[in-house]
Chains A and B, each alone.
Chain A
């Protein structure tokens, strides 16, 4: 519920630093697995951590706990939007927030990029993915099919060299 700007940093702080349910390495490993699989990363994380402590029921409890509160809040906001979206100030407000929001998404990408400096050849994968997606507008399936072999090849080299 207090996960403004994404839940991930908050999840890490609570689970690793405060409650010490997981060690930092375990958290990173689980997160790594969750990012391989498609779908909302944070939901995947909830499934992984929930199922670790309570099997399928734990997974269900974790995902529901994570999403029900925020859904209620966002629906209240949607209700307000319905009534006040004609106001010039509300339009401006949303324009400002969405401009920041898209910047926040881009900066997630840039922050994740820091790890690639340890093995700069991986930047090739990043650049190829971007070219395939934005210049040639290939569908996601084709992007993955095209880039995955190179990504796996380079990732293997990276894993061996570090």
Chain B
């Protein structure tokens, strides 16, 4: 059993401070050193929407800590109970560390967070695996950071947060893909690109006013970025590249296949380097996490599974624990056909990520 969407975070940003380089440590400042309140800058860009039902599952906390901040709580409250053998820690808002508007600060925070992750989480429970963050606003640094972090065999993927307004197919990102393909690290794209304040990546038509609208529309930003990767020929340049999109449910994928394939037939002369239908590349090169699965509409999910059998190879179980919309293995199992379970809960993820056994020899 593999869970490819476990969220982890720090209990306070001060946990990351010791990993910052000295100059940046001074830049951040001291929390509550001024008037008992002010004194420190935030490490992460601010998210746009407070969640009206709370961020976390009731009961996900343990030992009085904030949910998702403790290796022990994760083991006791989630992995043990659900017989999860391997978990991919994909961060929470930390996945957007690279999205701070100041690219130099973003790069410094990314380095610190990667080191915090290795020391605090990946050194512990052997079930835990991590994703590398990269400062994608600075491609050369991103490649260097990826090589540095990927030396840790517990790193199983690399996460990107394309927050600078250029979609993921842009040549800006290609060096990262080259390194990811060489290192056999799948590229993780999480939902939420469109909810970062002060990033030019927002929702079509303007910023939504509520969390419910943002969450409903989250598949759009994933679709735009995945489409961009295909039409810009990334899979032709890096045939070994693997993608993992997570957090926006599973029903959007086939809408994208239908639309983009249809358009590709008539418009492919614009990008002759795309030699196959986009869905062909994506069936080989993309896996979709079940985190955010539309559990409230089980009939639709069952009909989808019945009519779109290719999802059996493409879906990867991810719980989202300890977020409020966590879907446990049992709940997902009831939504999907029994003969898919082996693939979705284990086989597909086992084949996809860079587990220790797949780390290339140095």
Q: Do A and B come from one complex?
A: no
Task: Report A's interface with B, CB cutoff 8 A.
Answer: none
